Structures are given as structure tokens and as C-alpha cells.
Structure 1
Amino acid sequence: MREVVICSPLRTPVGRMGGALASISALTLAETVLGALLERTGLDPAAVDGVIAAQGYPTMEAPAFGRVAALNVGFPVTTTGYQLDRRCGSGLQAVMNAAMEVQTGVADVVVALGAESMSNAPLYTVEGRRGFGGAGLMLHDALSRGRETVGGRRFPTPEGNVGSAERLRAEYGISREAQDALALRSHERAVAAQQSGAFDAELVPVEVPGRRESVIVGRDEHPRADTTLDALGALRPILLRSDPDATVTAGNASGQNDAAAACIVTTPERAAELGLRPTLRLVSWAVAGNDPLRFGVAPVPAANLALARAGIRFADLDVIELNEAFAVQVLACLADWGLDADDPRLNPRGSGISIGHPIGATGIRMLATLAHELPALDGTLALETMCIGGGQALAAVFERA
């Protein structure tokens, strides 16, 4: 199969739930990053075969999300597009789907896109077309409902992802103090990256209309420079009422966020023809499944398989981007791998707890960050992996191009 390279991974800032980007739809965020991708690379939209878009909480305002976003930005009608959902792994899956199309010769140039506005996740009904009963209609919150139903009928997760995280806490004997320490380190690293300008090259500012004038949002909103171990320790565990030993809090778990990210997936030869500069080469990737109630440690088999396929070991990696869905699941994965929580290769610029976790965009957000981390650290090999609600995980090995 043909070699695959990644060019110009970009992302918008990550907004907090109900924060600076809350008035901006996922579609507009996607259009913003797609437009910037074309502008910064000088890529002719007619050269793009398709746009594969990831989104976890879609509506019918933009069906076949990738196609609609492409048309709105000015791609020709010959540019195809679709959307996919592998929950937390959706963005990386869009990159892998694009890679498979390029590897097999189905396409030469594909844009992988991820976008999410969790601030605007829909409330919906599945009963409205059958008329109104005496009790009215039930509206489901897509955010919470998706976490309860992701395991299907046979593997219910009534306490959502938090309940699954608490199972790992009990199984691995992970303390609240260890979780809060990891969360603090994540914020410290993200804030340091912000202050040093390390994120600047990967960021695309977003214009937010205001009553009198527009506001430009140009930096991540989620990292907290003022957080401390004492502040984290004062937060109440989410499931404390049902579990007196609960430890997972809003402070040591990932955020609910808004963002978009995109990259170009092609061959080295086509990149040269188009004047694109590859930043990463795809080495290998893998997907794995496990019990939905233990989904947080699914990155272990996924990463192990991706590394085995590449013929490399953890010791060979220069960067390990493991998405922080929860501090406890990161610590559980590290325990299985035999890695230290303070390993400098692990999320050098923060992750889901500090930067945020806009479901559909996270995988490409991580890719944009590691693409800039590798040269900054004079590294060569990186692993990107994340757990996925419902009992799955994705992992991919990239080499600095």
C-alpha cells in the first residue's frame, strides 16, 4: 500500500461548556478550520477528493457533515464528504479512514475533520411523531443519554462514564490524591504551553459575533492557571451519594468542550506536487474493544497492538499522547504499561483534563499538538491513543516527517 503523510494539522481554540464559543455551531467551527487550512496551505479545493468529518453530537442542520462543511467553505461539488462517530476516537478515526483511502488508491488527497459543540448538543425526542400523550413528550439530553446507552442493552452503563472510571479506581486501588496530582500536572503543562506560545502555530482563531462588535477567541479557555492541589481536593466526587469511596470529580476528569480541527492526508509524492509540507508519517494503527464498564483501559491493548505492528517498544517513543478522559483511567493504563505518571513524554502540553475533550475534534486536536511537540523535543516517534466510551480504544503510531 502507498505511504501516507499528514500535512498541516490545525485546530481552533478549545472552549468551555457554555463559554466563549458556546454561540458558535459545530458547523461554523468546522468551516473556520477548513477555511484556515486552505488559506495557510494554498491548497486548491479542487485537488481534494473528499472530506471525512467526525462529530459525536450531530443534528440535521448539517447532514453528512463533511460534505456540508466542504460545500459551505467553497469546495467544488465534486468533493465528496461524510461523517462518522466512534465517540472519543472519532477524530482519529477520520484520519485513519482518510489514510486507508489514500493507501489503497481510492483517493489521493483527503481532509480529515473533527468538530464538536457540546454547548449546543441537542435535546431530542423519539416520540413526537406519534402525537402527544397525557404526560407530554420526553426530551433526552444527547450528552447524558449517549453515555448511558453506549454499551447497548447487554452492557448498560447507567452511571455513565464516571461510573466506569470509579470501577477502575476500585480495581487498581488508585487514590484521589494521585488523580488530583495528575490533573494538576496536566493544567501546569497546558498553561506553560500557552504562556510560551507553543500552541500558537496549531491554532486558528475563531470570530464570535457580539452585540456591538465581534470578539476573536485565540486561546484555549479550559486550562486553569490558578488551580492547586487544595482546590482540586476540595471538589466533591460526582458519585459520592451512591458510592462513599468515589473519587472522580469535575477537576480530575476531562471537560465538555467546543472546538474543531482538521488536517490533510495524502502521499509524499502528491504532497510535493501540491506544495504541501508533511509533518507526520503514519506508521501503524490499531483498534481494540473491551468491557464497556472498563473502557478506560482499552488503550492498553490498542496501543500494544499498534506498537507491535510497527515493531517498536514504549522505550522507542519520544511522545505519548494519551487522552485524559479521567485521571484514574490514565493512571490505570500507565500501571498496565509499567510507566510512571510523571513520565515527561506523557502529554507534554496537557490533555483532556486541562485542554478539554470536544469529542469529535479531540483526535485531530491531539494530532495537531503532537505534530508540533515532536520537533520541539527533537523527537522522532509518537503514539496517540484514547479510550472510547462503550468499550473501545484507538491507537496510532506516527513518525516525524
Structure 2
Amino acid sequence: MTELREVVICSPLRTPVGRMGGSLAAVSALELATTVLRAVIERSGIDPAAVDGVIAAQGYPTMEAPAFGRVAALDAGLPVTATGYQLDRRCGSGLQAVLNAAMEVQTGVSDVVMALGAESMSNAPFYTVEGRRGLPPGGLLLHDALARGRETVGGRDHPTPDGNVGTAETLRAEYGISREAQDALALRSHQRAVAAQESGAFDAELVAVEVPGRRGPTRVDRDEHPRADTSLEALASLRAVLSRSDAAATVTAGNSSGQNDAAAAAIVTTPGRAAELGLVPMLRLRSWAVTGNEPERFGVAPVSASNLALRRAGLGFDDLDLIELNEAFAVQVLACLADWGVDAEDPRLNPRGSGISIGHPIGATGLRMLATLAHELPALDGSLALETMCIGGGQGLAAVFERV
């Protein structure tokens, strides 16, 4: 078997993250995707003809852009020789796009692949599965893709009728995690994200988006989700989502990730090909792992995935300079940290915020985290980073990256 080639990541960039129905709501996932792809091409200086293909992650697709990666490649101005497809590993999709690209490059199937993640949760479809059989009595039932996906992601034998929130409450009960601890983590997340915004720490990774409007386009160049005005008192005042059915419920909109709009992309190639094309690698992929667990407690799946990825890299948590753990829910983060023995206030953990503060645009999150991570490492004078996340339906995904 041919030895696997080394893989590096170049020019990871992202759009700002918009709130649900907020500043980017008028922009489709495809438009977000083409915006960030064009920016990666322009800032990296890569010859578009050198790109073999685009692997795109999207959690809530429509047939407005089928085989999303291919359509995004064409609309972004890549030549017709650039292939493309889409994938869905739910919350891990963006990182999985990078890893799929890495596997193509490692095995020699491709030399240069653009990994893409995009989501417009503001425009997630409503759909019916009944319309082709005629109009049923009472009319057609429209499903909200956002809500329905959370209810069905465990399949027939692992129902999650209360969606992801219900699984988060399962962990709260199992680990004995208080509402106060969850709100404290959420507040830290917002404080860190706001501090990063104010210091300009995000500037190098951001690509502005032009949003059309009746009075002309508006330029969005700043994450919309972080809240400078939140406080422990404000967070404590929010009602738990499942409080009507569970008096002990603690998970609120304030200590959970947002529903958001964004896109992110990066170039995946070999060091040699990067040098030939004049690209500047930022990260080297050291190892990765994906694991499964019960869909009803998927929030702790990063534990097994991260442990395996670290073991494959010959590393432990003490070797890491940065831990990027997506904040699907504060309770889920705290449960993972308890299993790892990592303090919730560890400065290596999400130093510029994460899903609770920056937001969680499902298909884009993994690449958004990668773009942030790539720019954090040099700022922290660090060399090794872990990126990991839980995935609805009972999966965890993790990757170890090394600063180049």
C-alpha cells in the first residue's frame, strides 16, 4: 500500500455568524458558500485550475443547489473540471468535510481540495412527504426541517422526542450539573467572544458579506450572536425549555448554542503542492477519530472521539495548547470536562468563545472552529490543538492539528 501523504490546511476563512432571522437571513446558504470560496481563492492567490474539487457540508439542504459542493464550485468561479459533492454528519459536518478532503489528498486521489461548510438556518426548509400522493384529508402536513431533524436523528430505536434539549437534560441528571454552573460557562463564552471581537482577534479569519436590501446592500463583517449585555442575572431569568414537563430542567436558550447562518472554507493539500502554488500552510493534520454512543446522551461523545484521536497522535490533554470543544449546550461541555478531568475555566478551552456565544450554524461550525483555531494558535504561541464536537444522533468527532 502506498504510504499516506502529509496533509496541511491553508487559508481557512469564514463569514460572520448571523443570528436566526438576523443580519444574514436574506442570504442563502449557497450565496454564503460562494462568498467564502471566492475569498479563499483571492486571499490565497491559488490558481482556480489547480483545485480538484469542493467537498461541502450542509445540514439543511434544498434542491436549489443539489450536490451543494459542485454548485458552489461553479458559482464561485472554479472551472468545470472542479468536482463537488455534499455531506452531512450533522454538527460535525464542517470538520468532516476537511477530513474527507484530507483522505483524498493523503491517498493521492486529489492534490488540492477545498473543504466548505455552509448553513442558513434562517432559510431551513419546511417540507412535506405527502404531496405526490394527492391532497390528504385536512391538507398537507409541513415539517419544520430544523425541529424534525432533532426528533428523528436517533432513528426508530433511539427516539428523541424532546430533541437535543431532552438529551442535554439527560446529561444534567446523570452528571448532577447545576443550572448555575451552566450559566457561568455561558457567560464566560460570551465574555470571551466579545473580548475577541473588540480586540480584532477575529479580523484575519473573517470575510464580509454583502446583504441586499431595498436601500442598497449592507456589509456584514461582525459576528451577530455574541452578547456584550448578558449577565448571570439575565441568564438566570430565562425559563428552562422543558420546565413544563420537567420541574428540574435547567437548559435554556441562554446556556445553549444558537441557530445561525454562516459559511467557512479552507484549502487542503500537501506541503509540496502548497509550495508549488505559493500557498502558506497554517495547520498540519496529526490525527482524527469518530466514535458513536447512545443518541439519548450524544453530548458526551467528544470524550471517546478525543481520547482516540489523541491516542493515535501519541498525545494527552497535557500536551495540548488549545482545546476547541463546540458548545452545543453548557451542560454537555461540563459533562465532557468532568470525564476528562479538565477545569471549566481552563484558559486553553475555547479562549474566543464557541457555540453558545459565536453560534452554531450546523454545517459550517466545524470549519468555523478550524478558522478560529488556526488563528488562535500563533496568537497563543501554541503548537497543538484539539477540535472536537458532539453530533446529534450519537456521534463524536475529533481532530488533532499542529501549527505549521
Query: Normalised by the size of structure 2, how large is the TM-score?
Result: 0.99
Q: State the distance in 2 between where 1:229 and 1:176 align.
A: 11
The answer to whether the aligner puts 1:318 opposite 2:352 as a matched pair is no
1:165, CA displacement in angstroms?
0.1
Task: Measure how far apart 1:45 and its partner are.
Answer: 1.0
Measured after TM superposition, the shift of residue 71 of structure 1 is 0.5
CA distance in structure 1 between the partners assigned to 2:44 and 2:315 by the alignment: 32
- SS of residue matched to 1:155: coil
The alpha carbon displacement at 1:133 in A equals 1.4
Which residue of the other structure, out of 82, 91, 105, is the alignment partner of 1:79? 82
Shift of 1:126: 0.3
Specify the alignment match of 2:284 in structure 1.
281
The one-character-per-residue Cα deviations of 1:251-299 (angstroms, maximum 9, x if unpaired) are 0000000000000000000000000000000000000000000100000
Amino acid at match of 1:371: A
Aligned match for 1:249, one of 235, 252, 257: 252
**Runs of 4+, deviation exceeding 3 Å:** none
Question: Could you list the per-position Cα deviations for residues 30-82 of structure 1 after superposition, in whole angstroms to 9, with x for gaps in the alignment?
Answer: 00000111111111111000100000000000000000010011111110000
User: Which stretch has the larger CA shift, 67-76 or 117-126?
Assistant: 67-76
Partner residue, 1:262: 265
User: How far apart, in 2, do the equivalents of 1:57 and 1:17 lie?
Assistant: 14
Matched, 1:118 2:128: no
1:88 is displaced (CA, Å) by 0.0
Determine the structure 1 residue equivalent to 2:175.
Answer: 172
- Residue 221 of structure 1, CA deviation: 0.1
- Residue 147 of structure 1: how far off its partner (Å): 0.1
Alignment partner of 1:145 is 2:148: yes
Identity percentage of aligned residues: 83
Counterpart for residue 32 of structure 2? 29
Matches of 1:163 and 1:223 in 2, distance apart?
Answer: 25
1:96 is matched with 99
User: Quick one: which of 188, 205, 228 aligns to 2:231?
Assistant: 228
Matched, 1:68 2:68: no
CA deviations 1:218-238 (Å, max 9, x no partner) are 000000000000000000000
Alignment correspondent of 1:189: 192
Q: Distance in 1 between matches of 2:136 and 2:399?
A: 49
**Secondary structure, in 3 states, of the residue corresponding to 1:395?**
strand
Q: Which amino acid aligns with 1:236?
A: R
Answering whether residue 13 of structure 2 is matched by residue 10 of structure 1, we say yes
Aligned-residue RMSD, C-alpha:
0.3
- Listed one character per residue, the Cα deviations across residues 196-218 of structure 1 (whole Å, up to 9, x for unaligned) are 00000000000001101110000
Q: Distance in 2 between matches of 1:125 and 1:201?
A: 42
SS at match of 1:360: coil
Q: Say which of 352, 358, 363 aligns to 1:360.
A: 363
Other-structure match for 2:334: 331
Shift of residue 124, structure 1, vs aligned partner: 0.2
Identify the residue that residue 381 of structure 1 maps to in structure 2: 384
Letter in 2 for 1:109: V
Query: What is residue 58 of structure 2 aligned with on the other side?
Result: 55
> How far does the alpha carbon of each residue in 1:291-346 deviate from its partner, in whole angstroms, 9 at most, with x for none?
00010000000000000000001000000000000000000000000010000000
Which residue of 21, 39, 46 corresponds with 1:43? Answer: 46
1:343 to 337, 341, 346: 346
Question: What CA distance in whole angstroms lies between the structure 1 residues aligned with 2:172 and 2:134?
Answer: 45
Find the residue that maps to 1:320 and give its secondary structure: strand
What 5-or-longer segments of structure 1 have no aligned partner? none
Aligned length: 401
Cα displacement (A) at 1:134: 1.7
- Please give the alpha-carbon distance, in whole angstroms, between the structure 1 residues aligned to 2:45 and 2:343: 43
Distance 2:136 2:285 in 1: 54
1:156 corresponding residue in structure 2: 159
SS in 1 for 2:385: strand
Render the CA deviation track for 1:85-139: whole Å, top value 9, x for unaligned: 0000000000000000000000000000000000000000000000101210000
User: What is the DSSP-based 3-state SS (H/G/I as helix, E as strand, rest coil) of the residue aligned with 2:95?
Assistant: helix
Q: Which runs of 5+ in 2 are unaligned?
A: none
Counterparts of 2:120 and 2:139, CA distance in 1? 28
* Alpha-carbon distance between aligned partners in 2 of 1:63 and 1:267, rounded to the nearest angstrom: 29
Cross-structure match for 1:272? 275
The one-letter code matched in structure 1 to 2:346 is D
Q: Give 1:348 shift.
A: 0.4
Rounded to whole Å, the distance in 1 between the matches of 2:288 and 2:333 is 20
How far did 1:4 drift? Answer: 0.1
| Cα separation, 2, equivalents of 1:166 and 1:301 | 20
